[in-house]
Chain A
Amino acid sequence: MATFRLQGSKVLAVDMSGDAVKAKNGSMVAYDGQMAFKKMSGGGEGLRGMVTRRLTGEQMEVMEVKGQGTCYFADRASDITVLSLHGDKLWVEASNLLCADGGLRTGTSFTGLRGGASGNGLFTTTVEGTGQAAIMSHGPAVVLRVTPQYPLSVDPGAYVAHQGDLQQSFQSGVTFRTFIGEGGGEAFQIRFEGDGLVYVQPSERNTVGGDV
């Protein structure tokens, strides 16, 4: 299995010995040893996966990198977080996924209202199995633990990814005040309940909710 490690906070180094990883198209910045780069049609998972991706708009431009040596990945100076999956599932926007172990399965899932409010699509990418993955954020991401006793509410624009056994619901704080222009700028949140981890970035994307 490929080994993921961080070189600084913005460069991911992946040590490979004949195995493969999936990575965002064009994100390789350097490598030593022997590497082969191959574009994966529509993000893998065969023809069916490709068709769903086309339909859902959750287009992941993915390449397969296979080889011997160390490959370095980075994308527009984004901060990178390496995380491990042990048979559980990771939900992440395709644009925030930098690299995933070749043994992990990727798919698409419906996010409901959350997607619309966070400025992302209504669909999100899922990564499932056992292995490492690297996600990107604008500024270093913090990992927040959610337990049944401690639910968490997150600004949709700051949400990056989540993993584990979590239920998400959409919260709205829209009141009469919002409509007369007295809103606090925090009209919408995503609420996570259950057991898992949520990755939050110290920056906010422009969302519909941010203005009201």
Chain B
Amino acid sequence: MPFREINSKMVEATIVPGQKMFSQRGAMLAYRGDVTFTPNLTGGQGGVMAMIGRRAAGEAAPLMTVEGSGTVMFGHGGHHVQVIQLTGDTLYVEADRLLAFDGTLQQGTMFMGSQGGVMGMVRGQVTGQGLFTTTLKGHGAVAVMAHGGVIELPVVPGRPVHVDPQAYVAHHGDVRNKLSTALGWRDMVGRGSGEAFQLELSGSGAVYVQASEEKL
């Protein structure tokens, strides 16, 4: 189902019968037509096991199912909204940044520690995000939230992109990420440049970066 960008902070989704859409609970701003909103206790799809998995992973953003026929406007907290189109690839995004997404997309959680070994584990602690992240896979559109707008940086083989963990929003494609450090003795004595940790993304795909170091 397509999203239409109304302005930088609001999107409109067309809901057609027989197709579901998931959105963050409370993110509906207005709607036209015959649309129902049901709280999603399983926090998405994939049944009870997936629910337990997400709960355990701390990636349980309260979601609701949007069904019916009509159009729904979404927005949340005045945050900038970015629509990302998936064509069979996987999007990695923190659950609290998800505004709404196509019901046909497969939802899952991924253990970030499995990428990059110990540094992958450290990543969660440094970024203030969990060790797990939400994945969405398939064909469809996803609306994600960011503070201050987003730029999309392509990741191509041989040219990795380094991102401030606080400014990182999401990434898609065949991308590996690991935490890299620029720690020298100066940083140890508290005179760092403020850029001690970076996420290094390599492979091929794209990374979305927000114009702010502020969390949502």
Do A and B truly interact? yes
Q: Which residues of A contact B (CB under 8 A)?
A: 7-11, 25-33, 35-39, 41, 61, 63-64, 72, 74-78
Task: Give complex CA distance A27, B167 in Å.
Answer: 10
Q: Which residues of B in the span 167-216 have a Cβ within 8 Å of any Cβ on A?
A: 167, 182, 186, 191-195, 198, 207, 209-214
Sample of 8 more A-B contacts, CB < 8 Å, known A30-B167, A32-B160, A74-B213: A11-B151, A11-B209, A25-B193, A26-B194, A29-B167, A37-B195, A41-B191, A77-B210
Q: When the two chains form their complex, are residues A30 and B149 in contact, meaning their CB atoms are under 8 A apart?
A: no
Kindly count the residue-residue contacts between A and B in the assembled complex, taking CB atoms under 8 Å apart: 92
Evaluate contact between B153 and A10: CB separation under 8 angstroms: no
A20 to B114 alpha-carbon distance, docked (Å): 36
Please determine whether B167 and A77 come into contact, CB atoms closer than 8 angstroms. Answer: no
Contact B149 A72 (CB under 8 A): no
Q: Residues of A contacting B151 with CB < 8 Å? A: 7-8, 11, 30, 72
Is B148 a contact partner of A74 (Cβ separation < 8 A)?
yes
Chain A residues within an 8 Å CB radius of B163: 29-30
Chain B binding surface, main DSSP class: loop
Contacts of B23-68 to chain A: CB distance below 8 A: none
- Looking at the assembled complex, report how far the CB atom of A167 sits from the nearest CB atom of chain B, in whole angstroms: 35
The distance in angstroms between the C-alpha atoms of A72 and B147, with both chains bound, is 16
Chain B, Cβ-Cβ closest to A80: B211
Which one of A11, A32, A74 contacts B159 once the chains associate, using CB atoms below 8 Å?
A32
Interface assignment of B73: CB less than 8 Å from any CB of chain A: no
Closest 10 CB pairs of A and B: A77-B148, A26-B194, A10-B211, A63-B193, A29-B167, A74-B211, A37-B193, A77-B212, A25-B194, A37-B195
Residues of A within 8 A of B192 (CB): 39
- Min CB distance, B72 to chain A, in Å? 26
Find the residue from B163, B164, B193, B209 having the highest chain A CB count within 10 A: B193
Contact flag A30-B162 (CB < 8 Å), given A8-B151, A39-B186, A74-B211: yes
B148's nearest neighbour on chain A, judged by CB, is A77
Give the residue of A7, A32, A72, A76 whose beta carbon is less than 8 angstroms from that of B148: A76
Q: How far is the CB of B194 from chain A (nearest CB, A)?
A: 3
What are 24 A-B interface contacts by the 8 Å CB criterion? Answer: A10-B149, A11-B209, A26-B195, A26-B213, A28-B195, A29-B163, A29-B164, A29-B167, A29-B209, A29-B210, A29-B212, A30-B162, A30-B167, A30-B207, A32-B159, A32-B160, A32-B162, A39-B191, A64-B193, A74-B212, A76-B212, A76-B213, A76-B214, A77-B211
For the complex, give the distance between the alpha carbons of A162 and B87 in Å: 48
A9 to B, closest residue via Cβ: B149
Q: How far is the CA of A190 from the CA of B151 in the complex (A)?
A: 37
Q: How far is the CB of A59 from chain B (nearest CB, A)?
A: 14
* B161 interface residue (CB < 8 Å to A): yes
- The distance from the CB of A91 to the nearest CB of chain B, in whole angstroms, is 25
Q: In the complex, what residue of chain B is closest to A24 when comparing beta carbons?
A: B194
User: In the complex, are the beta carbons of A32 and B153 less than 8 A apart?
Assistant: yes
Interface code B9-20, partner A: CB below 8 Å = 1, 0 otherwise?
Answer: 000000000000
A residues in contact with B160, CB < 8 Å: 32
- Contact A11–B211 (Cβ < 8 Å): yes
**CB-CB contacts of B134-175 with A at 8 A, as 1s and 0s?**
000000000000011101010000011111100100000000
